Amino acid sequence: MYTADELEAAQRIVYAAMPPTPQFAWPLLKETVGADVWVKHENHTPTGAFKVRGGLVHMKLRKDRGQVNGVITATRGNHGQSIPFAAKRVGIPTTIVAPIGNSLEKNAAMRALGAELIETGHDFDAAREAAMQIAKDRGLDFIPSFGKELVTGVSTYAHELFRAAGELDAVYVPIGMGSGICGTIAARDMLGLKTKVIGVVAEHANCYALSWAARRPVTTNEGVSFADGMAVRVPNAEALGIILNGADHIVTVSDDEIADAVRLYFRCCHTIAEGAGAAPLAALMQERDSMAGKRVGVILSGGNIDMPKYEAVLAGRTPAP
Asked if the model's pLDDT at residue 305 lies above 80, the reply is yes
Mean of the per-residue pLDDT values of the chain: 97
Helix or strand (DSSP H, E) at 153: helix 148-165
pLDDT value of residue 209: 98
pLDDT digits (tens, 9 = 90+) for 32-79: 999 999 999 999 999 999 999 999 999 999 999 999 999 999 998 899
List of domains in the chain: 4-50+148-314 (3.40.50.1100), 51-142 (3.40.50.1100)
Q: Which one-letter amino acid corresponds to residue 227?
A: A
Mean pLDDT computed over 172-182: 97
The percentage of the chain sitting over the pLDDT mark of 90, rounded to a whole number, equals 98
The closest of 224, 180, 181, 222 to 202, measured between CA atoms, is 224
* Residue 164, Cβ density class (10 Å: 0-12 exposed, 13-18 middle, ≥19 buried): middle
Residue 1 binned pLDDT confidence (cut-offs 50, 70, 90): confident
Asked if the model's pLDDT at residue 238 lies above 80, the reply is yes
pLDDT value of residue 108: 95
pLDDT value of residue 115: 96
Mean pLDDT computed over 214-220: 97
